[in-house]
Structure 1
Amino acid sequence: MSSISVLQYRFRNSEALSQAVNARRQTTIRQLSLNSLQCNLLLIENESISFSFTETSCPLHVAGAKGQGCLEFSFILQPGQQDFFAYEQAIPQNTLFGFDPTREVNMIVPGQSMICVAQIRRDVFEAYADLMQRSDLNMHFFKTNFITIPTMLSEVQAYLKRLYSIALHQPEYLTQSRLPQRGNCFAFASPHLLEDFLPLLIDSIPNPAAELSLQSPRRFSLVKQAEEYMRTHLKAPITLMSLCKALHTSERPLTYGFREVFGVSPMAYLKTLRLQAVRTQLQLADPAAAIAEIAHSYGFQSLGHFSRDYKTMFGELPSETLKQGFKS
């Protein structure tokens, strides 16, 4: 097996995070709150298997294509301030999800949470499943995309937490031939990640796997309608009252829905959309462009308040974004 690399990053904006995770996939990661983002990303990679551990202070929306020729398995290692959502479903912590290769990524990761995504070459996974006589782990199983396995999944999660801790604090251990076994966790090291992790993962999936019925929050549809309305009216004056009127709803269900799904109020979410739109314009603008004019076009009347919120969300001033966009 080829050697494993361990890479650690810290990010203050979601664009840089997107670039770091896109070596093996093509996804867009978008911050969903106005708070300052503190995100730790740890990657453990080789040619057959990779693990990405993402720990975030703010809620994030992740969407886009998965890696070609790979299977991806997602694990919640630390629940957040709100539920995880994947494919518009609320995901319990004891759920293995996201492994349908025909579906693109569509996930909301809450703030103060940690998620691990294991990306495995499909031919490698199929070879291990065949060796373990698990013919049930076929396309019919993959298309279910979700499975709750409370007892066995906890062993996989414990393994991943141990792997994360070693990679974070003692990455040099992953170059050794073998680590001593600790408690109930499997022993592992870089040449043995596949031999340890894949049997553990495959054994955790019952045969036959029970169908899992997940439900979207009853207000999810309303939240999606509101988000679409915001996106198509970013430059128009929008108040909470006018938004409710346009959607034929009242303030209470709309506010509860946004807090349940995104962890923020509707108007705070609208501000994040507008700040991101301004950022895109600044990245494309001529360096002589007037920042105030662009900001005003998206409803920001106070340049001081706008600049403060912009720096909090993206970790830099609007003028810095303008200069960097011109250089690139």
Structure 2
Amino acid sequence: MKTALKPYVHENCVTPILKVHADTEVAVHRQEQHAPHRCTVIANDANDQAGNLTDWEQEYDQIGAGRFCGRIDELNFGGLQLFNEHTGRSLRQRCKVWPDSFWFGFPSKRNETRINGQSVESSDVLCRPGSTEFELVTPESFDMLSIVVSKAKLQSHEASEDIDLKLLDAKNYPRLRLSLRTLQNFRYLLRRILQPTINKIDSDLHHDLLIMGLLELLAEEIPNKKVAPSYQHRKAVVERIKDYMATESIAPVTMTTLCEVGCASRRTLQYSFETILGISPMTFLRISRLNRAKRMLCQPSTSSVSEAASFNGFYHLSQFSSDYRQLFGELPSETFAKSHPANNSQLHSNALEPCVRTVPAFQHCLQRRGT
């Protein structure tokens, strides 16, 4: 039986947060020094969710419309990290795992998931080395079961278990193909160990079970090299547009401009974005700017909604407010109020949008950083 949500203030965090746990879980952590560190983290904002995973560098753009809800259940053993991440809305995720490690991901909806623009097939496991940036596009109501292990732990078994870690370092092959039986068995093991009732088992046993299962998985892995003939060209087109968006000033951009930057025709540009990201180029442009505006609204240095809107190329403020609310399920003034409580009484001063009732900032759980 779980306790009610209650405020908890992290020593390095100025924002009140919420910690979720079971009474039995607390008792175990106090009595069992060998128990792995467990944390459950809940967020109602994609930006918060991106920062809630221990030692990862991430930035999330929300693609699906509506209020966001996410959850992370995480276990840390030291050099081995196990977690399940739930995201309620479709996202574009830019991720980087901690150094000298390997990440293995098991998505719940494979045919709707992309990694670096490559579609995920039924028997695929996702894999990326540490300190290497990669991109995920994930669907609505999605779960990613993951394990991250230090490179040193695998290197100690490389010769005896006849595995080749060079394949895992290959930047062009983010998908590994396995037998469905091996895949199902390992997913079952990960889910079982993540269950709170398993906490009473010593962490050494957890650790050994995970390493043994991972070695069995790696003994039969084969890189999935299957991509469409046009993949490299289409990905290059999309990357040129993303680089332009990241470096150029936020001025109004037309399809003609995007075609010139991408060195592609309108049709090729459209096909490229639909193949790599699953959305049109103009949708990507609008959503990227809205997400950037939201991150800016959450920064204490931002003085007003109009500043965030104009900086990101939204000059028709009523349209910005409407588009923002459609994507995120709240007005930009509501987002601004959560990060600027001192300015709540002035929300309506610029007459940019209807005045809204002040609501308390969401209190999300932020787990201990580091292991």
| Cα offsets for 1:268-313 (capped at 9, x unmatched) | 21112222332344344657x3423541343324433322433454
Counterpart residue number, 1:202? 215
Measure how far apart 1:162 and its partner are.
5.8
**TM-score after normalising by structure 2:** 0.68
- List aligned pairs for 1:80-229, cutoff 5 A: 80-81=111-112, 83-86=113-116, 89-101=118-130, 103-112=131-140, 113-129=142-158, 133-138=160-165, 140-144=166-170, 146=173, 148-151=176-179, 154-161=181-188, 163-164=190-191, 167=194, 171-177=195-201, 192-206=205-219, 210=222, 212-215=224-227, 216=231, 218-229=233-244
Matched, 1:75 2:87: no
- Residue identity matched to 1:295: A
Structure 1 match to 2:82:
51
Contact 1:76 1:93 in 2 (8 A): no
Return the offset for 1:90. 4.4
Question: For residues 244 and 142 of structure 1, do their structure 2 counterparts lie closer, same or farther at Cα, with a shift above 3 Å needed?
Answer: closer
Deviation at 1:80, TM superposition (A): 4.8
Residues matched between the structures, number: 302
Deviation at 1:16, TM superposition (A): 0.6
Shift of 1:11: 3.0
Kept after mapping to 2: 8 A contact 1:75/1:157: no
8 Å contact from structure 1 (residues 32, 58) kept in 2: yes
Structure 2 unmatched ranges of 5 or more: 1-32, 343-371
Contact 1:278 1:298 in 2 (8 A): yes
Deviations 1:209-253 (A, max 9, x none): 656535435411111222223334452222224423554433322
* Equivalent position of 1:181 in the other structure: none
Superposed counterparts of 1:252-263, under 5 Å: 252-263=267-278
1:33, CA displacement in angstroms?
Answer: 1.5
Q: Which residue of 2 aligns with 1:184?
A: none
Deviations 1:67-94 (A, max 9, x none): 244332233343153x4223x5544342
- Contact in 2 for aligned 1:77/1:157 (Cα 8 Å): no
1 CA distance for matches of 2:70 and 2:301? 31
Q: Does the 8 Å contact 2:64/2:91 carry over to 1? A: no
- Identity, % of aligned positions: 17
- Asked if the contact 1:149–1:205 (Cα under 8 Å) also holds between the matched residues in 2, the reply is no
RMSD across aligned positions (CA): 3.4
Say whether the 8 Å CA contact 2:177–2:222 is kept in structure 1: no
CA distance in 1, matches of 2:44, 2:124: 29
Query: Which amino acid letter does the alignment assign opposite residue 164 of structure 1?
Result: R
Q: Would you say the 8 A contact 1:34–1:268 is kept in 2? A: no
CA distance in structure 1 between the aligned counterparts of 2:108 and 2:78, rounded to whole angstroms: 24
Cα distance in 2, alignment partners of residues 256 and 320 from structure 1 = 36
CA distance in 1, matches of 2:341, 2:100: 36
- The residue that corresponds to 2:22 in the other structure is none
- Please give the TM-score of this superposition, normalised by the length of structure 1: 0.75
Does the Cα contact within 8 Å between 2:62 and 2:92 map onto a contact in 1? Answer: yes
Which one-letter code corresponds to 1:62 in the other structure? Answer: R
Q: Tell me the amino acid that sits aligned with residue 279 of structure 2.
A: V
Q: 1:314 Cα deviation (Å)?
A: 4.6
- The 8 Å contact of residues 178 and 222 in structure 2, kept in 1 or not, is answered as no
1:35 — aligned with what?
65
Q: By how many angstroms is 1:117 displaced?
A: 2.4
Query: Which consecutive unaligned segments of at least 5 residues does structure 1 have?
Result: 178-188
Give the whole-Å Cα distance in 2 for the aligned partners of 1:156 and 1:190. 23
Distance 1:304 1:11, change over 3 A: farther
Q: Which moved more, 1:119-128 or 1:43-52?
A: 119-128
- Which residue does the alignment assign to 1:266? 281
Residues of 1 paired with 2:115 and 2:257: CA distance?
28
Aligned partners of 1:295 and 1:157: how far apart in 2? 47
